[in-house]
Amino acid sequence: MHTYRGKLAYDGTKYAGWQVQPNQRTIQGLMETALLKVTGHSCRVLSSGRTDAGVHAHGQVISFKVETELAENTLCRAINAHTPFDIYLRQLEITRDNFHPIREAVSKHYRYIIQPGPIMDPLSLKYAWSHPKALDLDAMRAAAVHFIGEHDFASFEASKSDRKTSVRNVMELMLDEYTQHDARFITMDIRADGFLYNMVRNIVGSLSRVGKGKEHPDWIVDVLSACDRKRAGQTAPPEGLYLMDVDYGET
C-alpha cells in the first residue's frame, strides 16, 4: 500500500463543497467513488482544506492511501476517466506514508474575483461576484494594507466557528484589475499561514464596503480590534473564490 499526493482542480458550481455529505454530490465523495472503481478498494481522500459549496480550485492538494499495482500516471488517468469533466486530477505521485495535506501546509493562496458594475458580463456569473455597483480600487488597496501581518481575525470568521485560536498571519494581499468583454474585474490574491471559516469571503465583503464609499479604509483597523463578526462587512458569495495553491515549504 502506498500513500499518494496529488493536485486537484475543480469547478465547484454543481457541488455541495469538498466534504462528503449525505445525499449530496461532493468533490471528496466523487474522488473516493472513482478510486473504488479503479482499484477495488475503499479509501478516504484527504485535502488541504474543505472548500464550500460553489467554491473552485486550481491547486487543491489531496492525499490517500490505497493498494494498487498501477503506476502513478496510469492511476491518475484512470481516476480522471471516472470523474466528471469539471473535476480534474492534475498530477499524482507516491509520497511518504506520514504526509498530511492539512497539518503540513505552510501557507495557502486564495484568489477572489469581483465583477463590479455597471457593465456586466453574463458569462462570469458562476465564476465571479457580480457586484451591481462600481468599486474604488484605490480605496480598497488602502484598506487591504491593514490585513497584512499577524492579527486576530475573529471579526472575519463565521459565527460559532470552533477554533483554538483566530490569530492568523497574512503574508500577502494584493488587489488588481483587468477588463474582459468590456466588463471590469477586480482580483484579490491573499496568502496566509491559515484561514478561518469564511475568512476570505468576509474580507472581500468588508473591502467592498470601502470600495463603495460606505467606510473609510482605516475602518478595517477598528473592525480587526473589535473581534466581533457583526462589525465587519457581508460574506461575499462563494462563486468568486478559488483555492490557487498550497505551499509546503519545499524547495
C-alpha cell of 24?
A: 449530496
Strand partners, 189: 111, 174
What is the spatial distance between Cα 160 and Cα 81, in angstroms, rounded to a whole number? 40
C-alpha cell recorded at residue 99: 504526509
Strand 129-131 to 107-116 pairing: parallel
- The answer to whether residue 52 is catalytic is yes
Name the amino acid, one letter, at 219: W
Catalytic-labelled residue, pool 52, 97, 162, 176: 52
Active-site residues, by number, are 52
